[in-house]
Amino acid sequence: MTVMSEKEVLASRMGFANPELVNRLEARLPQMLEELAALSDLESPTNSLDALGTCARYLETLGTTLLGKRPQRLQSEGRNHLLWQFGETPRIVLVGHYDTVHPLGTVLRFPFSIDGDVARGPGVCDMKGGVIIAMHVVRELLESRGPEALDGLCLFLNCDEEIGSPTSKAFIWELAKTTKYAVGFENAIDWRIKTERRGTSHYNIIVKGRSAHAGDAASVNGINAIHELCAQVAVVDAIADAEAGTCITPTTAAAGTTTNTVPEDASMWVDVRARTKAEQQRVDREIRLLKPLVTAATIKVAGGIEQPPMPDTSSLRLFEIAAEVSKELGFGELFRMAVGGAADTCRFADAGTEAIDGFGAVGGGDHSDREWIYTGSLSRQAALAAGLVEKLLSLP
């Protein structure tokens, strides 16, 4: 018996063309929009455990209906991360999150709505549209191939991605031990697939001076923490390296107590984005070596590296397969892009998994009251992702 190599198996599948797949998912679009409307109107800000619990129960019920089985609840610190797993060993993981940045009450002023081919509402783009797409990808594969053929396929949805996945990253690392492919359902921009993501780090630079009456000889009696903090902004900015793709941005700052007191305390948060792990670690070292520039002030650095980068080396082979699927389904040429935002596919890539992202809804306005998607992107992206996953399931 001749055993085909992975490359030979892949080549044998490249003739695949399945217009019925597109038609079936387009027929399911009204259902997908109804489910997205319900999911969008169920608010799920990352910091509200009660709201997240309500949203998780909805997704459990919906997933049980669509996928024929209840998810595992992976619980940590009061949060419920959901995992649907077919077979014993995870091999292909579809990745998403159901938390949003929108605070409770947003839906009252910005409810789900559809106007022509555009849907709006909190979380429709980032990334509840992607959650619905991922569920229907699995549903389609169940209907077309049967549950036995999905051995190794998982759908993982967490509820703390917007704050760096602090309680779910342990579950991600565990999945990544055996996972060969990770497909992310974060939103797509201009129909482009995300093949590279920068890693993220956040630092709180805390300055300690000495308070004094502002009317006294402050240069003698006080140490102005604001002076030190302002001096550090230039130092931090200089650590960035645009050519290497490393971006450093001071984002928020706080200082002082009263208008007539030399401020003793000051601090600022710094956002770091890096294309490579080496750059991420270089910045980490340099920020932790910050020294005071004002006599007798002290500096403390809190925070650190959060999400590693997702380099294009982890995604290019998957993109090539997806590009073939796009042509076979009649969608034409598929384009890719690099983005500055991190996501959970970064952790899979860091663990050695082949990872790709951007199979969610096509839209924009993330993290704002202008969030929107093209309605038709739900079925189209689902068809593209289902075609990709079908090929991956056929590989050894």
pLDDT digits (tens, 9 = 90+) for 40-71: 999 999 999 999 999 999 999 999 999 999 99
From the list 87, 91, 85, the residue with the least C-alpha distance to 154 is 85
pLDDT of residue 6 exceeding 60, the answer is no
pLDDT digits (tens, 9 = 90+) for 80-109: 999 999 999 999 999 999 999 999 999 999
pLDDT of residue 7 exceeding 50, the answer is no
pLDDT of residue 363 exceeding 60, the answer is yes
Q: Report residue 10's pLDDT band, with 50, 70 and 90 as the boundaries.
A: very low
pLDDT of residue 5 exceeding 60, the answer is no
Q: Are 247 and 318 within 8 A, CB to CB?
A: no
| pLDDT computed for residue 294 by the predictor | 87
pLDDT digits (tens, 9 = 90+) for 288-343: 999 999 889 999 999 999 999 999 999 999 999 999 999 999 999 999 999 999 99
Output the average pLDDT for the chain. 94
Q: Report residue 219's pLDDT band, with 50, 70 and 90 as the boundaries.
A: low
pLDDT of residue 217 exceeding 90, the answer is no
Q: Report residue 215's pLDDT band, with 50, 70 and 90 as the boundaries.
A: confident
pLDDT digits (tens, 9 = 90+) for 337-353: 999 999 999 999 999 99
From the list 152, 198, 153, the residue with the least C-alpha distance to 350 is 198
pLDDT of residue 1 exceeding 60, the answer is no
Q: What percent of the chain has pLDDT over 70?
A: 95
Mean pLDDT of 274-282: 97
Mean pLDDT of 67-79: 97
| pLDDT computed for residue 221 by the predictor | 82
| pLDDT computed for residue 218 by the predictor | 52
